[in-house]
Structure 1
Amino acid sequence: MNARRAITGIFTPVRQGINSLGHDPSKFQQMRGIRVKVRDGNLERALAMMQRLMQSSGIERMIKQEQTHHMKNSEKRILARKNLERKLRSQDHARKLQMILVKKVRGL
């Protein structure tokens, strides 16, 4: 009977909460997904929080990238142009911020 418990203990998943993980960052990486607590029975607020977390973590982008339908060449060109414009805006913004920081450091 003890051997049977040991065997089933190997195959049953261990459920651990966040508190039982401790402060080791490698153990936090093992937990995947997004968890949101529903407080005071306010489901709408919890859903809004989950949506914000999904957007900030990039899960939403990953889901959209895994589309199974065919994409026309014109759609691909439009997406490529939008991505390029976004990249250029980001680089321009970073360049402007860098110039501001350089001026502050030099005292101009």
Structure 2
Amino acid sequence: MRRSIVKKKWYAFGTREVVFAALGAALYGVLSFATNMIALPAAGNVALRPAVCIPMFFGVVFGPWVGFISGFLGNIIGDALSGWGFWIWWDIGNGLMGMIPGFALPLITSFRAT
């Protein structure tokens, strides 16, 4: 008897993904707020945020859409807690930093050198 293994599609988005996206956004927002005081002296309105690895981790482990949402909403939460203004391009950029590793991982792992 053969068992069929159902592979999860990259575009699948269910309850599990919603929960992990919310968890990633909250975690990134709070840690971003905590490290937002590390400002770069030569650049205005730019801070060093080591917490940016959180959306990347969530994108790789739970999928690209979870990574995007955790980066996008997490940046909004972090900026709101810090008192920074809302700027959509920074939020989209942080979302893409979570999404791109999620898309890249299957390509990297499926590549085989001959």
| TM-score normalised by structure 2 residue count | 0.21
| TM-score normalised by structure 1 residue count | 0.22
